[in-house]
């Protein structure tokens, strides 16, 4: 039997197709931290009791401290925000700028310390960096308290932080 170019091509295609395996890379693979916004309610002793979810009425812009990087620009009427996390830095420092309708701005700085861990789903998938939050702190212009509700930042989309704002 003579092997023609067509038969050779068919053999090559069959070999390639049989060597392929299914790839199980997740479709939702963006690693972001999720911040929820809440009004702060305190008891007579000043202990935080929690509060209801609130939407940001003022414009919110979030940037990276010391850099010309804006992560969120003029977010309005949202009760949460998803923000990227630095790949290798042990501490992320973000500046939250709140601007009211008259153009008056207030700033709060949020510092998050974290451990970074490389994550592989499958050798054929891209590498991701997952993070474990060690601590979070902020200034207190408008932010009363930040609570870590889920210290693991990955691509599950769960709320990681609850930001409680001073309420009148």
Q: How far apart are CA 39 and CA 52, in angstroms?
A: 6
Q: Is residue 160 part of a domain?
A: yes
Q: How many domains does the chain have?
A: 1
Question: What does the pLDDT read at residue 112?
Answer: 97
- Nearest Cα residue to 65 out of 34, 105, 108: 108
Q: Is residue 69 part of a domain?
A: yes
Q: Is residue 24 part of a domain?
A: no
Please report which helix (H) or strand (E) contains residue 150, including its range.
Answer: none
**DSSP helix/strand/coil, 109:** strand
Question: What does the pLDDT read at residue 10?
Answer: 61
Q: How does DSSP assign 37-67, residue by residue?
A: EEE-EE-TT--EEE--B----SEEEEEETTS
Residue for token digits 């050798």?
A: 123
Q: Is residue 143 part of a domain?
A: yes
Tens-digit pLDDT profile for residues 91-142: 999 999 999 989 999 999 999 999 999 887 777 777 888 999 999 999 999 9
Q: Is residue 16 part of a domain?
A: no
Q: How far apart are CA 153 and CA 155, in angstroms?
A: 7
Task: Give residue 70's domain range.
Answer: 32-165
Tens-digit pLDDT profile for residues 15-45: 545 444 555 776 666 789 999 999 988 888 8
Return the exposure string of 91-112: e unless at least 16 CB atoms fall within 10 Å of the residue's CB, then b. ebebbbbbbeeeeeeeebebeb
The values of phi and psi at residue 165, to 5°, are -95, 150
Return the bridge partners of 59, or none. 99
Mean pLDDT of the chain: 86
Q: Is residue 103 part of a domain?
A: yes
Q: Is residue 139 part of a domain?
A: yes
Q: How far apart are CA 10 and CA 8, in angstroms?
A: 5
Q: Is residue 4 part of a domain?
A: no
> pTM, whole model, 2 decimals?
0.80
């Amino acid at each position: 039997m003579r092997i023609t170019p067509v038969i050779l091509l068919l053999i090559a295609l069959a070999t390639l197709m049989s060597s392929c395996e299914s790839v199980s890379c997740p479709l939702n693979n963006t690693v972001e931290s999720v911040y929820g916004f809440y009004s702060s309610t305190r008891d007579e002793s000043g202990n935080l009791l929690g509060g209801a979810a609130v939407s940001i009425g003022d414009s919110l812009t979030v940037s990276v401290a010391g850099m010309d990087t804006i992560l969120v620009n003029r977010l309005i009427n949202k009760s949460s925000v998803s923000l990227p996390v630095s790949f290798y830095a042990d501490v992320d420092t973000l500046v939250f700028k709140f601007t009211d309708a008259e153009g008056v701005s207030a700033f709060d700085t949020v510092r998050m310390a974290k451990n970074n861990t490389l994550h592989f789903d499958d050798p054929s998938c891209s590498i991701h960096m997952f993070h474990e939050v060690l601590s979070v702190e902020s200034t207190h212009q408008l932010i009363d308290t930040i609570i870590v509700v889920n210290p693991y930042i990955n691509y599950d989309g769960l709320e990681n932080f609850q930001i409680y704002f001073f309420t009148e």
